């Protein structure tokens, strides 16, 4: 398996910068928290013992980026704290970074989006009062940041916390009746919106262990039918979501290898995209399994 993806892993390693973090593009000199966390996850998924020091330095770089309240934020915008969930996933399993993980989880548990009660005249279909997590502080909660945060706190042992239970309720409230999720709405002015494969894959990855397969069956069926023809990032998350529910396509690695090979035509992928594809290829049970599998709900 590793041989098929060795050149792409080497490309990932080459993006390390001073301090042990990872830049988002080849030749960049500045590390970002999201790309560093994704790179660490990809190298963990590869399971190559020679990468141990690279993983350790990447985690150390994330700790250096962590702000005083526990968040990881994009350097140009403190309010954009969505990389915090990725940091939690990257720190999993490291005793040295236990404090960083604990502080990040505490930040997520006390932080939420901007929520309000639904009124009869609202054109939206979802319940805006259910608390989740936003991309940016003091904005509404949406599916992907909520799913990533739920995934993070669940792998950190907080799957029964009230915030986790409410996040599950938010995701289920925003599942489309015909299956799948989009950015975070179901109906607008009475018209059902369309699902997005990337968002659906993130949601399914987070919900494993929280709901039954029956409750998300239509979403799994939608994703399984769409997977083969998807663009790289959507394909990566589709396979991760299906893998979490033991529905990984038999051709998953072939499809992912083909998307990685498209760099010869379109140019180098960003580090977050490259890493997500590698995690999808090298984590056959899904991203949560990198931190230890969760029990399925009967």
Residue 292's pLDDT band (boundaries 50, 70, 90)?
A: low
Taking residues 6-27, report their average pLDDT.
Answer: 96
| DSSP notation for 36-67 | HHHHHHHHHHHT-GGGHHHHHHHHHHHHHH--
Confidence band of 21 (pLDDT split at 50, 70, 90): very high
Average pLDDT over residues 80-89: 98
Beta bridge partners of 191: 188
> Mean of the per-residue pLDDT values for the chain?
95
**CA–CA separation, 52 and 157 (whole Å):** 24
User: What does the pLDDT average to over 69-91?
Assistant: 95
| 191-244 residue pLDDT tens | 999 999 999 999 999 999 999 999 999 999 999 999 999 999 999 999 999 999
- In a 13 Å sphere around the CA of 236, the CA atoms on its Cβ side amount to 20
* 234-268 pLDDT tens trace: 999 999 999 999 999 999 999 999 999 999 999 99
Give the pLDDT mean for 73-89: 94
| Backbone phi, psi, residue 145, to 5° | -65, -30
pLDDT of residue 3: 85
Secondary structure of 157-175 in the HEC alphabet? Answer: CCCCCHHHHHHHHHHHHCC
CA distance 242 to 52: 28
> Residue 138's beta-bridge partner residues?
none
The predicted-structure confidence for 138-152, as pLDDT tens digits, reads as follows 999 999 999 999 999
Name the pTM for this structure: 0.95
pLDDT digits (tens, 9 = 90+) for 37-70: 999 999 999 998 889 999 999 999 999 999 999 9
216 Cβ neighbours under 8 A, 6+ residues apart? 175, 204, 207, 245
CB 82 within 8 A of CB 135: yes
pLDDT band, residue 2 (cuts 50/70/90)? confident
Kindly state the tokens that stand for 70: 């526990």
How many Cα atoms within 13 Å fall on the side-chain side of residue 238? Answer: 26
- Residue 296 banded pLDDT, cuts 50, 70, 90: very low
Distances (CA, A) of 98 to 60, 103, 127: 11, 9, 35
**20 pLDDT above the threshold of 90:** yes
Q: Are 132 and 166 contacting, i.e. CB atoms less than 8 angstroms apart?
A: yes
Contacts of 14 (CB under 8 A, 6+ apart): 26
Q: DSSP letters of the chain? A: -HHHHHHHHHHHHTTB-TTS-B-SSTT-----HHHHHHHHHHHHHHT-GGGHHHHHHHHHHHHHH--TTS---BTTBTT--THHHHHHHHHTT-GGGHHHHHHHHHHHHH---------TT--B-S-TTS----SSTTS---HHHHHHHHHHHHHTT-TTSHHHHHHHHHHHHTS-TTS---SS-SEETTEEPPP-HHHHHHHHHHHBTTB-GGGGHHHHHHHHHHGGG--HHHHHHHHHHHHHTT---TTHHHHHHHHHHTHHHH-PPPHHHHHHHHHHHH-TT-SGGGG-PPPPP-
- Which residues face 208 on adjacent strands? 211
- Structure confidence by residue, pLDDT tens digits, 95-129: 999 999 999 999 999 999 999 999 999 999 999 99
């Amino acid at each position: 398996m590793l041989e098929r993806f060795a050149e792409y892993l080497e490309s990932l390693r080459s993006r390390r910068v001073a301090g042990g973090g990872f830049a988002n593009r080849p030749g960049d000199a500045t590390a970002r928290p999201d790309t560093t966390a994704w790179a660490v996850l990809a190298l963990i998924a590869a399971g190559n013992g020679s990468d141990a020091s690279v993983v350790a330095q990447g985690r150390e770089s994330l700790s250096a980026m962590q702000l005083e309240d526990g968040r990881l934020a994009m350097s140009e915008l403190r309010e954009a704290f969505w990389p915090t969930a990725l940091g939690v996933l990257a720190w999993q399993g490291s005793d040295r970074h236990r404090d960083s993980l604990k502080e990040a989880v505490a930040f997520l548990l006390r932080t939420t989006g901007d929520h309000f009660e639904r009124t009869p005249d609202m054109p939206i279909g979802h319940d805006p009062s259910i608390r989740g997590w936003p991309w940016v502080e003091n904005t509404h909660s949406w599916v992907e940041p909520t799913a990533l945060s739920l995934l993070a706190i669940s792998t950190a042992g907080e799957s029964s916390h009230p915030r986790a239970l409410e996040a599950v309720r938010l995701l289920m409230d925003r599942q489309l009746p015909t299956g799948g999720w989009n950015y975070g709405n179901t109906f607008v002015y009475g018209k059902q919106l369309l699902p997005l494969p990337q968002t659906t894959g993130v949601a399914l990855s987070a919900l494993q262990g929280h709901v039954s397969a029956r409750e998300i069956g239509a979403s799994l069926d939608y994703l399984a039918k769409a997977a083969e023809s998807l663009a790289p990032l959507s394909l990566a998350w589709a396979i991760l979501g299906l893998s979490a529910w033991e529905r990984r396509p038999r051709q998953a690695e072939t499809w992912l290898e083909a998307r990685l090979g498209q760099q010869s035509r379109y140019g180098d992928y960003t580090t977050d995209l490259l890493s997500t594809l590698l995690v999808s290829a090298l984590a056959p049970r899904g991203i949560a399994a990198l931190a230890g599998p969760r029990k399925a709900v009967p």
